[in-house]
Amino acid sequence: MGWRSDPAAGRSFSPRGQTPVIWGTGQRLGGNLISAITNRGHLQFMVFQQRFTVAVFLKFLRRLLRQNRRRKIFLILDAHPVPLARGALRWCQRHRPALRVYFLPGYSPELNPDEGLNPDVKTNAVGRIRPLNREEMIGNVRACLRSPQAHRSAVKRYFQEEHVRYASV
């Protein structure tokens, strides 16, 4: 997921007859996020500044494998070009005993339970708070993600949507 500091999310208020003003720095700040959630309520994420490349994807997968050594990981990915790149597919094939990768059909975000997390982050961490700089914005996003990370029931709710119940068993 990518985000920017200048979205039009949330509500504002002003007295009748006055135009509401939302304070901002005028800077266009942005960032990216990669995350993995489980139907047991676990959330792992990585915030990064650069473009989403195979190197960034493999760094996240290495962290995922390192933090989950005792269990085999079944990873369901959307059809983004980076995980479908030859280098990423070869790496996943070499790590097949610990990691199995499955791809969702193209253009089917409703089947991805992780898509429930994206609007929460964009609304609560980016849309309602106007950061002064990039560090503050990244701190807001990390703080917003640590809340569902600590409360597994919040993550489990993403699997209750009709189209993603297939992944909740």
Is position 19 within any domain? Answer: no
Domains contained in the chain, number:
1
Is position 15 within any domain? Answer: no
Residues 154-163: contacts with CB under 8 Å, at least 24 apart: 154/41, 155/37, 155/38, 155/41, 155/42, 155/43, 155/117, 156/39, 156/40, 156/41, 157/116, 158/37, 158/113, 158/114, 158/116, 158/117, 159/39, 159/113, 161/110, 161/113, 161/116, 163/110, 163/111
Is position 33 within any domain? Answer: yes
Is position 18 within any domain? Answer: no
Is position 20 within any domain? Answer: no
Residue 3 is predicted with a pLDDT of 80
| CATH number of residue 92's parent domain | 3.30.420.10
Residue 10 is predicted with a pLDDT of 58
Residue 151 is predicted with a pLDDT of 86
Is position 22 within any domain? Answer: no
Residue 56 is predicted with a pLDDT of 97
**Average pLDDT for runs of 10 along the chain of length 169:** 70 79 69 91 92 96 91 90 96 94 89 86 73 83 86 88 83
Is position 14 within any domain? Answer: no
Please give the residue range of the domain that contains residue 77. Answer: 2-9+27-167
Is position 16 within any domain? Answer: no
